[in-house]
Amino acid sequence: MKVMKFGGTSVGKPERMRQVSQLITADAESKIVVLSALSGTTNALVEIGNAISSSQREKAKELIDKLEAHYQSFIVELVKKPSSLAKAKAIVAEHFEFLTIILKISFSEALSKDILAQGELLSTKLFSVFLEENGIDHFLLPALEFMSIDSHDEPQINSIRNRLDMLLRQHSDKTLFITQGYICRNARGEVDNLKRGGSDYSASLIAAAITASVCEIWTDIDGMHNNDPRVVKKTVAIEQLSFEEAAELAYFGAKILHPASIWPAQFYKIPVRLLNTMQPEAKGTLITEEAGSEGVKAIAAKDGIIAINIRSSRMLLAYGFLRKIFEVFEKYRTPIDMITTSEVAVSITIESSAELKAIVRELEPFGTIEVEENHTIVSIVGNNLNSTPDILSKLFTALSPVPIRMVSYGGSKHNVSLLIPSAYKTQTLQLLNKGLFGLE
């Protein structure tokens, strides 16, 4: 059995849904198809939630009406038979009535999650009507009945597996299952979600739970590219990556795959394939345990990084200093990306954080603190970079015009990371595209 996940743009137009229906019926293997909300919907739902929480009910009502109008015209194009249209209308009416009722009750965090869940519920139910109209037999698996997170927001893979197994066994006559990405239940049993972009995570959790033959992630680009196509002219798709390489790339800015979605696939050894809905014959990128080849494969960049420098002569020959510093970040649940040290100073990077002021305040007793905002981490990812000849000399030669603020090398065989001022990002990516890949 395999898992196929389609993102918002892959289901964002009626003709795209039609294309998805062709892709999921192209072979005979049984499958679970995971769908995102139609593109733009989750953003709209976030806005609706914000308007309600700030008591702007009229604005919320306007946003709800606008979104409903979008769905009304979507379904008219999606289905043909009057009976299918009636079904689709009833689904749209049900979910928008729900949103309208929410306007009347007092706002809570749990309610905002209910609002966010409407996107995936709508996309899957409407897709199901479309499949039915076209005589494609399937079963709509309710993600809220099997996808769950614990009190630390961590997915409960064993319970997910048990519940999913049971559901699949109850419908063992079916070979095609459709389900919602992103949404789940939390430890209190409320509707919750796996955070923005979380449908990829849903797909890989499901793939891990059923030990799928492959987890296919269908988007609108033909796999992971060697560099950011928005910044450099020429990029190429990467044929194969190891899980480690993919994790570094996904975390350090390659937007194509949600970073959390790597671990379930890696741990349960499920190959992941990144494919392009608009160009299904393209090879895409295969992510497996093996890297496929040696050397540098890709560059990714992550903006909005803050460097914090802590300088203290008390660090000299002292032990336990770093632990005390790290405890501050732990207390504020703020992940550290890069770290470099000298005997009397340590530099740490974090993503922009609402807790920055509090963190700095707690660090002050340890020494002189300097904070530099607007930085970018540029991550050079590949296989066995530690034994790739000339990698550092190539890097530094290519980047001689760029003021490099930090370097991290040796922590992983798969990554060299540089911290640079964000103003130099475009130039850095262009110089590296030339210096490392010989591309413009």
Please, are residues 207 and 270 in contact by the beta-carbon 8 Å criterion?
A: yes
Residue 8 binds to ligand ASP (criterion: CB under 6 A):
yes
Between residue 119 and residue 148, which ones bind ligand ASP under the rule CB under 6 A? 119
Q: Which option in ligand ASP, Mg ion, none does residue 198 bind, with CB closer than 5 to 8 A by kind?
A: ligand ASP
Q: Which option in ligand ASP, Mg ion, none does residue 171 bind, with CB closer than 5 to 8 A by kind?
A: none
Residue with tokens 């749990």: 110
Residue 182 binds to ligand ASP (criterion: CB under 6 A):
yes
How near is the Cβ of 95 to ligand ASP at its closest, in Å?
14
How near is the Cβ of 396 to ligand ASP at its closest, in Å?
38
3-state secondary structure of 331: helix
Pairing of β 336-341 and β 176-180: unpaired
Return d(Cα 392, Cα 417) in angstroms, integer. Answer: 11
Between residue 2 and residue 41, which ones bind Mg ion under the rule CB under 5 A? 7
Structure tokens at 238: 């990467």
Between residue 182 and residue 201, which ones bind Mg ion under the rule CB under 5 A? 197
Pick the piece of the chain touching ligand ASP (CB under 6 A) from 160-168, 197-205, 385-393, 408-416. Answer: 197-205
Q: Closest Cα partner for 432 from 139, 256, 235?
A: 235
How near is the Cβ of 36 to Mg ion at its closest, in Å?
6
Pick the piece of the chain touching ligand ASP (CB under 6 A) from 16-24, 104-112, 191-199, 291-299. Answer: 191-199
Distance from chain centroid for Cα 97: 30
Pick the piece of the chain touching ligand ASP (CB under 6 A) from 36-44, 50-58, 204-212, 429-437. Answer: 36-44
How near is the Cβ of 199 to Mg ion at its closest, in Å?
6
Q: Which option in Mg ion, ligand ASP, none does residue 429 bind, with CB closer than 5 to 8 A by kind?
A: none
Return d(Cα 15, Cα 34) in angstroms, integer. Answer: 18
Q: Where are the alpha helices (DSSP H) in 179-242?
A: 199-209
3-state secondary structure of 433: helix
Q: Which option in Mg ion, ligand ASP, none does residue 71 bind, with CB closer than 5 to 8 A by kind?
A: none
Distance from chain centroid for Cα 226: 18
Return d(Cα 391, Cα 350) in angstroms, integer. Answer: 26
Residue 227 binds to ligand ASP (criterion: CB under 6 A):
no
**Cβ neighbour number for residue 86 with a 10 Å cutoff:** 12
Residue 181 binds to ligand ASP (criterion: CB under 6 A):
yes
| Residues lying near ligand ASP in the complex (CB under 6 A) | 7-8, 36-37, 42, 119, 181-182, 196-199
